[in-house]
Amino acid sequence: MGFVPTMGALHQGHISLIEIAQKYADEVVVSIYVNPEQFAPDEDFEEYPRTLHDDLRKCEELGVSAVFAPTDEVMYGGESYLSIQIDRLNEYMDGGSRPGFFEGIALVVNKLFNIVRPDIAVFGQKDIQQFRILQQMVREFNHDVILKMGPIIRANDGLAISSRNSYLSDEQRKKAPGLYRALRYVKGQLLDGIKKPALLLDHQKSELEAKGFEVDYFNVYSFDRIKPVAELQRGRKYILGGAVYLGETRLIDNMIIKLEN
């Protein structure tokens, strides 16, 4: 059984994960649940798009075997005396900017794995730190599931597709691929042999700010530890990741960098 956990408002990114799951599994289960535990009080839990009717139709068209769309009562009913704590892997990137975010995700995915009991679960590279943390959770908590990572699905202009893109005004939507372009430029430079990316990153950050983005982070991180790296080495795997605000809307994107030996 394959499993694709989502918060709904299904788009091409989610659909691609469902199709990957279908390649590996006979039956695919999709969950749709806007998990309150991963939203901070000042975040967009209330506004988050909820389109269950359309989502169910899409799942049916794709041949999904079952959709699990629980209520809050099912997921968090009853008193809770326990919590999950993440000690590492969440100091930087989204973990650094959104305290409690990955604890909320680890909690809900832990529950979902125990309820759905999948053999394979597919997550998107779009949320690469989430993938890395869940990989660790599976290892440390002995979940009997294999994780697969699906590539980032993008609009024609390069913007990573996201349920939150619906918050963007027309003008913001036109600007939004700037984050992708900055990442692509830096990736090219790193593959061309720039080993110490600090100046390059600073310059791109300033360019983004000049274009009207508020940069939350824009840096190169080790894949294994999710820590910033000052100097890249051959044969290692890195994440070039960025998060920006356009107005109130937070956009994230990343690229994996692997320098060949």
127 part of the interface to ligand AMP, by CB under 6 A? yes
Looking at 11, 14, 143, 203, which residue is catalytic?
Answer: 14
Site for ligand AMP in 208-247 (CB under 6 A): none
163 part of the interface to ligand AMP, by CB under 6 A? yes
Min dist. Cβ of residue 159 to ligand AMP (A): 9
Told to judge if 14 belongs to the known catalytic residues of this protein, a careful annotator would answer yes
- Copy the structure tokens of residue 45: 């839990």
Among residues 2, 95, 104, 150, which is the contact residue for ligand AMP, using CB under 6 A?
A: 150
Min dist. Cβ of residue 168 to ligand AMP (A): 14
Min dist. Cβ of residue 76 to ligand AMP (A): 17
37 part of the interface to ligand AMP, by CB under 6 A? no
Query: CA 221, CA 231: separation in Å to the nearest integer?
Result: 10
C-alpha neighbours within 13 Å on the C-beta side of residue 74: 11
Query: CA 248, CA 241: separation in Å to the nearest integer?
Result: 19
How large is the C-alpha radius of gyration of the chain?
18
Instruction: Between 113 and 201, name the residue whose CB sits nearer to ligand AMP.
Output: 113
Report the phi/psi class of residue 69: left, alpha or beta, with left for phi > 0 and alpha for psi in -120 to 50: beta
**In the chain, which residue ranges form alpha helices assigned H by DSSP?**
12-24, 52-62, 72-76, 93-97, 101-116, 128-140, 170-175, 178-191, 198-210
182 part of the interface to ligand AMP, by CB under 6 A? no
115 part of the interface to ligand AMP, by CB under 6 A? no
Q: Which residues are catalytically annotated?
A: 14
* Residue ranges that bind ligand AMP, judged by CB under 6 A: 6-7, 13-14, 16-17, 123-124, 126-127, 150, 152-153, 160-163
